[in-house]
Structure 1
């Protein structure tokens, strides 16, 4: 009976207090790759713990003879909750994926109608500076405005375009989509909003890191400042947004922070392993006991 209680408590911790605390640990942005793994491990572990709590409670009640009517009722209720959680995740995944792909397909079609293509980049005749990418399985688009081309120096423009290309190469849209699914499935019950916002910042930081590896750090910083205030359409990934101040702060930090990265990776592995061990090991023990 201890396993369902532990998993239930763990799912609550991983769904609420821990994401809230991680979202305020801004130093994590200095090691964005490790931080991203930590956020993904936390989200996955929360789902595993929630599902495992219901399944382990059901099997605990049914595998330990004698089985009373109350045990069957508790097992049925636990199984029903597990089914509901799974169904909400699957439905949210379907709706979120369908909506995003439809939105991006329509936006790509509109861009193709009005933009001119210059060296693989779609250029809009627009007075406001914009720079963003629209992911797609059948063809992605990198979109900038004429104002962006005239406002940015060549080095700044190269840095911005590399930022967008890194988004497309790393498929950051799929990472954001996974957290959007969680937020849509459980908008009020868990701290999915904080997780989603911080992951949005991290994918931009990761794209910034990729851009400065092949370009000029100062050029990217000045480009972000020049494009401040611009926003990308819904469903797109833009170089600018509300996280510019945080990203500039990270860009100015040139330290390696290897110790922090290693510690965060260990923490991510421990968080992901904990619900797995709490579910798998007791179930194996129960199976062995039941077979005797």
Structure 2
């Protein structure tokens, strides 16, 4: 969970053929890994109190209530218990801090947009920036989300290409990709010493861009979407380091995928790949379920077998 599996998945070629299943598998690896790290320390710490989690918790309650017949765990086991509790608290606190920071950044960004943009006359929940560089990103919100377009994008892209860009950004909002990015961002911040946490964040960012591309392809042709992506990326590249920044920078500040135009994403649009076969997708989903269920089941397996 911590090293070989994420490393192998980040290099796998099949993920672009089944981005939905790949995203679910990444989530299962992160959740299963977290449960395994916490659960292993928890089981070690509770080992003197019982052979499984349920019996150990019952014995722990009896110990707290003063039962003299319960064996008191030693200092090593207490250290393991403290480590499990502290690590679990660290993960939850990091997620809460990341959510709070992202919420504040979005609020500030919305204030700037009120000053620097105007509502679109033709599209609901869309703001138009008075800037020559093609920019397109979305700002998620609890009550209302908005899509931000620049004047340069509306000028340089044809109506069909504009529809492709808007469909792409709308899919990010409809599928709430910002929550997915938030979870993996928090995981990366909680475990910065683990190289694979960064691999998972980068992989998920790329996969949700593919998901948004697939959604846009339901409304426009592949050539139209590809041309729109290349036009925006080519225009933004020379100014990416300037004060205005690129659309991806703005998107990342508000907790959304940056719309990175990776070679793998372009290759996927240039050369369509056959979707993963149903048996293979089923196998991936089965692995996903097992990765989430097994750590929890193993904690209470001895008691289940005894019953």
TM (norm. structure 1) is 0.86
Q: Which of 267, 279, 288 matches 1:249? A: 267
- Structure 1 residue aligned with 2:87: 85
Question: Which 5+ residue runs of structure 2 have no aligned equivalent?
Answer: 52-58, 60-68, 238-245
- Structure 1 residue aligned with 2:62: none
On the 8 A contact 1:129/1:147 being kept in 2, the answer is yes
Quote the offset at 1:67 in angstroms: 7.4
On the 8 A contact 2:17/2:276 being kept in 1, the answer is yes
- Structure 2 residue aligned with 1:22: 9
- Structure 2 residue aligned with 1:48: 35
- Structure 1 residue aligned with 2:107: 105
2:231 is the alignment partner of 1:211: no
On the 8 A contact 2:181/2:256 being kept in 1, the answer is no
Aligned residues: 272
On the 8 A contact 2:178/2:257 being kept in 1, the answer is no
Question: Partners in 2 of 1:240 and 1:83 — Cα distance?
Answer: 37
Q: Which of 190, 193, 213 matches 1:188? A: 193
TM-superposition CA deviations, 1:127-162 (whole Å, max 9, x none): 111110011113211011111111111111101101
- Structure 2 residue aligned with 1:76: 78
Q: CA RMSD in A?
A: 2.1
- Structure 2 residue aligned with 1:117: 119
> Given the superposition, is the C-alpha separation of residues 84 and 239 from structure 1 closer, same or farther in structure 2, using an over 3 Å criterion?
closer
Question: Partners in 1 of 2:33 and 2:262 — Cα distance?
Answer: 30
Question: Partners in 2 of 1:210 and 1:279 — Cα distance?
Answer: 40
TM (norm. structure 2) is 0.82
Question: Partners in 1 of 2:75 and 2:7 — Cα distance?
Answer: 35
Quote the offset at 1:171 in angstroms: 0.5
On the 8 A contact 1:93/1:181 being kept in 2, the answer is yes
**Would you identify which runs of 4 or more consecutive aligned residues in structure 1 move more than 3 Å?**
64-69, 236-240, 283-286
- Structure 2 residue aligned with 1:132: 137
2:277 is the alignment partner of 1:258: yes
> Given the superposition, is the C-alpha separation of residues 280 and 238 from structure 1 closer, same or farther in structure 2, using an over 3 Å criterion?
closer
Question: Partners in 1 of 2:227 and 2:258 — Cα distance?
Answer: 12
- Structure 1 residue aligned with 2:47: 60
Question: Which 5+ residue runs of structure 1 have no aligned equivalent?
Answer: 1-13
